[in-house]
Structure 1
Amino acid sequence: MAKSRWRRLLFVFVVMAILLGVPWWTLLWAGTAWPTAVVIAGTVVFVAVFVGLPVLTMLGHGRRHLDWAAITADVLLGVAWVLFVWSVLGQLLGLVLWVAGVEDPARSRLIAGAVLVAVVALLAWGHFEAMRLPRIKDVDVVLDRLGAGLDGLRVAILTDTHYGPIDRARWSAAVVDRVNELDADIVAHVGDVADGTVALRQAQAAPLAAVRSRHARVYVTGNHEYFSEAQGWLDHFTQIGWDVLHNKHIVVERGGDKLVVAGVDDRTARASGLDGHGADLDTALRGADPQLPVLLLAHQPKQVTGAVTAGVDLQISGHTHGGQIWPFNLLVRLDQPVVHGLSRHGRRTQLYTSRGTGFWGPPFRVFAPSEITVLTLRRSASSADSGPGRRR
């Protein structure tokens, strides 16, 4: 156990050394020939971040839940990532300048200046994108088994709100107002509602009680619920009148046709050791008419494997944040089959992966805008040609 902990710590410090070392080299050392005082002052800043970031992360995201520490650590992590990425890209600029005959220290100083300008601009814009009210994204989804009475049914998706250290109660209320303006048939929250317990994030989550829909409000857990109190969030959503799809389903009927709306726990639920939790699609669909189309809520896109096996028509997921800060989307793709958007899996199953409504950790979104998604379910042309939808 002790060896495993030391390995994890070693891995963290190696990653941090690379994350901070490349910007340090690019900005302060690689041929820039800055005055000694500048190099020393800059190095002190990088060392302070290297030492302080793990400590602040433990204080902020550990058992103590000190929000000021979490905010500081998250901002530093975001800044470090953007600095690292654009320092690497700065080396490519260096090659261009070298080919153009620009010598050091002018070349290295131009690179350092360009990197700093790019990073400051992207962080300012990225913070605005993270804190802004999400855009509405409209997507039509054609389902072969959809009955005529359900054609045009609209599903509004919230996911990854991540109410956390930064108080976003006003933002949360504005999101709910925007959702209510949509007058959707179904409103779904696909997990990662908050980072922390219900008691800790109650003020930010409170507006969700005012969400309106024509037929159903449904919720499933994400992986972050299992970092705090998943059952507490399930109980909270039940208390405010949402349908909690804890490995269960409901049936929505419109115009004489029916749609099974099912939900499963996040794929990390079983490993949490919480009694009665764990993704179980068989249980979720038990008793459902196999002839009806199925809309499944599952937090992680990789859960689509089970959806394909079960013959689910459409799975809705979040979790990826679209990468949140480019080019992290490339790393997300190593773990998940899809980063964002509509995709097809197998002969029947489609998957919509949302970029998320909020953000996690660093309060920045770079080339990965947040969204409130409206999926409009459409009946396929072949189904329409075959006659009126089945009445059940």
Structure 2
Amino acid sequence: MNPLLFFIVFLSVFALINFYISRRFIAYLDVKATHKFYFHIFLFVNYLGIIGYMLGRYYLDFANWLYFLFSLPIGLLFLLFCTAIIYDISRVILKIAPLSAKRRNFFKRSLDLSSLLLASTLSAKSIYNARDIKLEKIDIKIKKLKKSYKIVQLSDIHIGGLIDKAFIKNLVLRVNDIRADLVVITGDLIDIKMDRGRDILAELKHLESAYGTFFVTGNHEYFHDIAKIIESLKELDIRVLENENIYIGDEGEGFNLAGVYDIFGYRTKSYVPDLSKALENLKNSPTILLAHQPKYIEEVTHSVDLMLSGHTHGGQLFPFRFLVKLQQPYISALHQHNKELQIYVNKGTGFWGPPMRLGACSEITEITLIPAL
């Protein structure tokens, strides 16, 4: 997608969100006109912040503290929009409820106050939640596997802005402490141009595991010169699985690790996922497939025991989870897709947009593959 087109669409969506908040929430608050004026100023300032965020994400360099301030409005306005919807529905119900004027006014004032408190509390909680990355540990039974293997899965790091060199350094230290057999990164690793992100990306060369680090593209790699990103990763000795597979472990005791390009490639006609090619010449062992988006599982019909994905961020901010569910069959955690195939969806190691998480923590996934009895 053209960054300019995304810029315009993104700003248009938030212009509509601001309009709804103004007309269906602020306009009905029982407060002084001066207070409503300040609320409108708040909306306007936040909208300017979103413009600043998009400029910083795709065109300009800002100091981290300024980038932090510019990114917050995305989450603040989204949560305020969700609150406004609840407020709007509650206000209409209250209006038609068989109550005396006195009781209706009391409940209306209570609704006004509780709605403002709800939006403020959720915003503060979301910012606090984004400070930590949780280590998720899970055992997954794999048929025909002869011995156990430990995989660390990272996904949706979105290098750029607040995801800086210090963030990646700390992430690498935490991953190395796990002493994994291999590390896999399931897409959306970098979200800025390579000339701005090269030094940050270089920190990943310090990742340590027995069999190395493996990567498949996500949709965001297509926004920032995917060819250059892939080449830069290869220079760091990170194996990019481009519709191909590799055998992990000793002969007869290991598993096939396959990877495909992201399905966004279907829109661009370049770097297109090809499952048949990715599964060519498999050894007679279990197969683990890396594919960025969970919905790619609809194309997997055979020869795969486990698929590892990301993309969804677990919804990142809870109400958004329901919108993600409209597009993706799985949002997070482990699922048994059919009799033969399982899928694990990582909630994202970083975040996109605001440093906010609600109902979906950032995660490093420690997956232990164990032989099924």
Structure 2's unaligned 5+ residue stretches are none
Letter in 1 for 2:268: S
Distance 1:341 1:323, change over 3 A: same
Which of the residues 301, 312, 325 maps onto 2:294? 301
Distance 1:27 1:113, change over 3 A: farther
Distance 1:320 1:22, change over 3 A: same
Distance 1:346 1:41 in 2: 54
Which of the residues 30, 35, 40 maps onto 1:38? 35
Which of the residues 190, 199, 205 maps onto 2:201? 205
SS of equivalent to 1:278: coil
What is the deviation of 1:198?
2.3
- The yes-or-no answer on 1:248 pairing with 2:247 is no
Structure 1's unaligned 5+ residue stretches are 382-392
- The yes-or-no answer on 1:288 pairing with 2:286 is no
What is the deviation of 1:205?
2.2
Which of the residues 205, 209, 234 maps onto 1:238? 234
- The yes-or-no answer on 1:142 pairing with 2:138 is no
Q: CA RMSD in A?
A: 2.8
Q: Percent of aligned positions with the same letter in both sequences? A: 28
What is the deviation of 1:121?
2.3
User: Does 180-189 or 90-99 show the bigger shift?
Assistant: 90-99
Q: Is the 8 A contact 1:60 1:71 kept in 2?
A: no
Alignment of 1:1-392 (within 5 A): 13=12, 15-16=13-14, 18-25=16-23, 27-32=25-30, 34-47=31-44, 49=46, 52=48, 55-56=51-52, 59-62=55-58, 64-67=59-62, 74-91=71-88, 103=103, 106-132=106-132, 134-146=133-145, 148=146, 150=147, 152-254=148-250, 256-274=252-270, 277-289=271-283, 291-307=284-300, 309-381=301-373
Q: Is the 8 A contact 1:30 1:108 kept in 2?
A: no
What is the deviation of 1:111?
2.4
What is the deviation of 1:214?
1.4
Provide, for residues 319-371 of structure 1, a one-character-per-residue CA deviation record: whole Å limited to 9, x for no partner.
Answer: 00000001111100111110111112233111111101000112211111111
Letter in 1 for 2:293: Q
Distance 2:55 2:89 in 1: 38
| Residue aligning to 1:386 | none
Q: Is the 8 A contact 1:67 1:166 kept in 2?
A: no
State TM-score, norm by structure 2. 0.87
Number of equivalences? 363
SS of equivalent to 1:315: strand
Provide, for residues 239-290 of structure 1, a one-character-per-residue CA deviation record: whole Å limited to 9, x for no partner.
Answer: 111211111111012485121001111111242344xx1111111222222x
State TM-score, norm by structure 1. 0.83
Distance 1:11 1:118 in 2: 25
SS of equivalent to 2:159: coil
Letter in 2 for 1:354: N
SS of equivalent to 2:342: strand
Letter in 2 for 1:199: D
Distance 1:129 1:201, change over 3 A: farther
Distance 2:9 2:200 in 1: 36
What is the deviation of 1:96?
7.4
Distance 2:232 2:90 in 1: 52
Distance 1:11 1:214 in 2: 42
SS of equivalent to 1:319: coil
Distance 2:9 2:337 in 1: 39
